[in-house]
């Protein structure tokens, strides 16, 4: 993030404010996502937009140390109750909210009172990762898949109370066709390009996919999509849960990420001379992600409840492998249909979920991929079957290892990963692990039922 040009920000906000007023906007919400994956917000009346843009809105340093349940913990870099940051909304991302009349929204960055970017600002880290990739001559396109489970808003936690019908079944779609139409209409009115929407496998579950964008915009859009789903669900007497495991048994919500790397107008995941059409750049970038995937789980599957979802045979990807269109691999190479591969080929990361901060996910994947580029890393042999079907001896012979099966194991992997710690910087890397360890302590001795019930409506 560069130095703040306060006069320019004020002038631009006044220009945009006039347009928003003509559309009936009265209030503007600005959001950032904390280290527990919770979207936090401050809002201002439209009359204060210019001042907020130029000078920011105050927020405590303590937001870096919030747990999922709003408990405020200490940490090596905690300032406690002292100090103040300023939240500056991204004016170019201002969006009128279709499902919240009179409101607009924008993602925000955090600065200190001198106008210097906050060292632990997650969106700023995503920007820095994208900038470093650009300095290497490449850009990235990314998108997040969103899965959610619906219940009736005022009903007990009974997922059968609002949605009936089999997974992927038209019966489920037709029951809620008005709701789904309203959701897509709201998103498209907010300039979000919806590519598909459908009932998913789990009970009462739906999934929505949007078009890929630059990494920071992909994370911004993901925040907007989830909050729009929440708002439209309420309008229809429904409640949406994005938790990785709604109940102790069953299949949970993933937070899959798709990414491709581009050299100018060329997608390096297609048209190359490596396996399945990848170029050397694509292979090294993917190998970097695979190599750092154990540590990345502390970023992309950052909650105790995440590891209830990460089980073999659940299409979650729990073994450190990759494969072509293999949905049991955490790294699934998506080739795309013949005739579209030059634009469609991409890498899907399947082991992440929606308790994650999307900006940290973006940053972590880019930094890991760039580490692979720096090392000229190569991928192991692809796996084209469910690796959970092998015996332990067979996996050992093939060199297939299990990804971390618990949050403490993921934390240990992250703390041992020098490249990611350096890329994130000591203050943020240390604080993230302080948060993870505190959550582990919170759930010590808790049953799977206790964990899922506590986390069911948090994210």
On whether the CB atoms of residues 359 and 125 are closer than 8 A, the answer is: yes
Report helix, strand or coil for 267.
Answer: strand
Cα 350 to Cα 258: distance, rounded to the nearest angstrom: 9
CA 9 to mean position of chain CA atoms: 28
Beta-ladder partners of 107? 31
The radius of gyration computed from the CA coordinates of the chain, to the nearest angstrom, equals 22
Query: For 110, phi and psi rounded to 5 degrees?
Result: -115, 130
On whether the CB atoms of residues 119 and 428 are closer than 8 A, the answer is: yes
Nearest to 439 by CA among 273, 289, 279, 304: 304
Predicted pLDDT of residue 261: 98
pLDDT at position 162 over 90 = no
Percentage, residues of the chain above pLDDT 70: 98
Predicted pLDDT of residue 2: 62
Question: How do residues 36-50 score in pLDDT, each as one tens digit?
Answer: 999 999 999 999 999
pLDDT at position 153 over 90 = no
| Helix pair 215-235, 122-135: axis angle to 10 deg | 140
Report helix, strand or coil for 287.
Answer: helix
pLDDT at position 156 over 80 = no
pTM: 0.97
For 194-199, what is the mean pLDDT? 97
Cα 110 to Cα 88: distance, rounded to the nearest angstrom: 6
Percentage, residues of the chain above pLDDT 90: 92
Cα 138 to Cα 262: distance, rounded to the nearest angstrom: 6
Query: For 232, phi and psi rounded to 5 degrees?
Result: -65, -35
**Mean of per-residue pLDDT scores for the chain:** 96
Predicted pLDDT of residue 158: 59
Report the CATH architecture of 131-455. Answer: 2-Layer Sandwich (3.30)
For 326-347, what is the mean pLDDT? 94
pLDDT at position 207 over 80 = yes
Nearest to 347 by CA among 253, 256, 254, 251: 256
On whether the CB atoms of residues 148 and 203 are closer than 8 A, the answer is: no
Annotated domain spans of the chain:
6-118, 131-455
Q: What is the DSSP letter of 404?
A: P
Task: Reduce the secondary structure of 164-220 to three states and give it as a string.
Answer: CCCCCCHHHHHHCHHHHHHHHHHHHHCCCCEEEEEECCCCCEEEEEECCECHHHHHH
Cα 187 to Cα 232: distance, rounded to the nearest angstrom: 10
Question: How do residues 109-150 score in pLDDT, each as one tens digit?
Answer: 999 999 999 999 999 999 999 999 999 999 999 999 999 999
Which CATH code is given to the segment(s) 6-118? 3.10.20.70
For 9-21, what is the mean pLDDT? 97
Question: How do residues 373-417 score in pLDDT, each as one tens digit?
Answer: 999 999 999 999 999 999 999 999 999 999 999 999 999 999 999
Q: Residues 6 or more apart from 125 whose CB is under 8 A from it?
A: 359, 360, 363, 424, 425, 428
Least confident of 130-134, 144-148, 157-161, 167-171: 157-161
| Helix pair 215-235, 177-189: axis angle to 10 deg | 140
């Amino acid at each position: 993030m560069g130095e703040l040009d306060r006069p320019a920000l004020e002038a631009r906000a006044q220009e945009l404010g006039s347009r928003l007023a003509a559309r009936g906007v009265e209030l503007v919400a600005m959001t950032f996502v904390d280290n527990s994956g919770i979207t936090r917000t401050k809002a201002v009346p439209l009359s204060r937009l210019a001042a907020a843009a130029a000078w920011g809105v105050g927020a405590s340093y303590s937001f870096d140390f919030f747990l999922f349940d709003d408990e405020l913990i200490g940490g090596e870099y905690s300032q406690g109750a002292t100090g103040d940051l300023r939240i500056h909304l991204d004016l170019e991302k201002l969006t009128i909210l279709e499902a919240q009349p009179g409101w607009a929204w924008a993602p925000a960055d955090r600065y200190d009172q001198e106008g210097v970017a906050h060292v632990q600002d997650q969106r700023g880290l995503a920007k820095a990762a994208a900038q470093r990739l650009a300095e290497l001559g490449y850009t990235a396109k990314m998108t997040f898949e969103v899965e959610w489970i619906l219940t009736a808003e005022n009903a007990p936690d009974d997922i059968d109370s609002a949605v009936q019908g089999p997974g992927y079944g038209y019966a489920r779609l037709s029951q809620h066709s008005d709701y789904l139409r309203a959701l897509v209409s709201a998103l498209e009115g907010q300039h979000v390009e919806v590519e598909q929407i459908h009932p998913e496998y789990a009970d009462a579950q739906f999934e929505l996919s949007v078009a890929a964008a630059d990494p920071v915009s992909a994370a911004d859009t993901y925040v907007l999509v989830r909050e729009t789903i929440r708002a439209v669900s309420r309008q229809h007497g429904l409640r949406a849960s994005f938790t990785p495991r709604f109940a102790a048994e069953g299949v949970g919500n993933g937070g899959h990420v798709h990414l491709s790397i581009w050299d100018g107008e060329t997608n390096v995941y297609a048209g190359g001379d490596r396996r399945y059409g990848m170029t050397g750049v694509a292979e090294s970038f993917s190998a970097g992600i695979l190599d750092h995937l154990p540590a990345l789980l502390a970023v992309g599957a950052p909650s105790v409840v995440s590891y209830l979802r990460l089980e073999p045979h659940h299409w979650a990807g729990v073994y450190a492998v990759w494969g072509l269109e293999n949905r049991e691999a955490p790294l699934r190479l998506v080739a795309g249909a013949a005739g579209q591969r030059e634009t469609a080929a991409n890498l899907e990361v399947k082991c992440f979920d929606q308790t994650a901060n999307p900006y940290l996910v973006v940053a972590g994947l880019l930094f890991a991929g760039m580490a692979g580029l720096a090392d000229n890393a190569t991928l192991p042999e692809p796996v084209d079957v469910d690796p959970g079907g092998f015996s332990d001896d067979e996996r050992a012979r093939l060199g297939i290892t299990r990804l971390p099966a618990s949050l403490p194991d993921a934390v240990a992997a992250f703390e041992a990963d020098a490249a990611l710690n350096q890329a994130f910087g000591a203050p943020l890397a240390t604080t993230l692990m302080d948060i993870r360890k505190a959550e582990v302590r919170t759930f010590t001795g808790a049953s799977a039922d206790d964990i899922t019930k506590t986390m069911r409506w948090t994210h």
